[in-house]
Amino acid sequence: MARYRGPLCKLCRREGKKLYLKGDRCFSNKCAFDRRPYVPGQHGPTSRNKLTQYGMQLRTKQTMKRIYGVLEKQFRNYFEEARKKEGVTGDNLVKIVESRLDNTVYRMGFAPSRNVARQLVTHGHFKINGKKASIPSMRVKPDDVVEVKEKSRSLSVISEAIASAKDKGTAPWLDVNFDAYQATCLRYPEMEEAGLPVDVQSIVELYSK
């Protein structure tokens, strides 16, 4: 499946906000957004373009796509699925992207970023309900148990992420057992719990035009 392979820090600078795509590096003095808080490119430092309503909606959509690491076609499919479900479309969209396996691994605290979580899942280090799961876009449903394979529990990237997560805390819709290297999905998250730095309703309005 296609994915963005370019510099992650440029995405934060383009959207004008930290998207925390590189884990702990985003909290350090190495963060490119802190050192160069302007859009990439030759005219970035002097760019003062005022966005139209459409432009703001577009940037909001791009921000959300980049947070979860999905491209346009897949994100549009998620929106269409959310629109057809009962309930509020924006809430449904958040539940869909948050239920992705790579995002769940990140929310469990077993990876420092969604990008690393995606790589770990692709390499087959996780299981869902005892079965190997190696597709990042797989959906995690309530009562599903996500766990690290026994042979993968010694990986330094996982143990370091767990140590950091114990201090920061984990998502309230997941029951995480660090000692057992697993987590149970209790329910789908509410939009407020996801803590997204975007107005999801503006994305709904953009796609509804």
Q: What is the pLDDT of residue 168?
A: 85
What's the one-letter identity of residue 4? Y
Domain ranges of the chain: 1-46, 55-97, 99-185
Task: State how far the Cα of 43 lies from the Cα of 111, in Å rounded to an integer.
Answer: 35
pLDDT-based confidence at 209, cuts 50/70/90? confident
Q: Tell me: pLDDT of 31 over 70.
A: no
Cα–Cα distance between 48 and 70 in angstroms, integer? 28
Q: What are phi and psi of 116, to 5 degrees?
A: -65, -40
By residue count, the chain amounts to: 209
Q: Could you write out the three-class secondary structure of 11-23?
A: HHHHHCCCCCCCH
Domain spanning 55-97: CATH superfamily: Ribosomal protein S4/S9, N-terminal domain (1.10.1050.10)
Please state which architecture CATH assigns to domain 1-46: Orthogonal Bundle (1.10)
Residue 100, pLDDT score: 98
What's the pLDDT at 170? 87
5-26 pLDDT, tens digit each: 666 655 666 666 666 565 655 5
Residue 86 has pLDDT above 80, yes or no: yes
183 alpha carbon, distance to own chain's centre: 17
55-97 shares its CATH topology with 99-185: no
Per the prediction, the chain carries an average pLDDT of 87
Are 26 and 20 in contact by the 8 Å Cβ rule? The answer is yes
Q: What is the pTM of this model?
A: 0.83
| pLDDT-based confidence at residue 106 (cuts at 50, 70, 90) | very high
What's at 206, amino acid-wise?
Answer: L
Instruction: Kindly state which CATH superfamily the domain 99-185 is placed in.
Output: RNA-binding S4 domain (3.10.290.10)
Orientation of helix 89-98 relative to helix 101-108, angle to 10°: 70
Task: Supply the angle between the helices 156-168 and 114-122 in degrees, to the nearest 10.
Answer: 140
DSSP 3-state of 145: strand
Taking residues 178-188, report their average pLDDT. Answer: 97
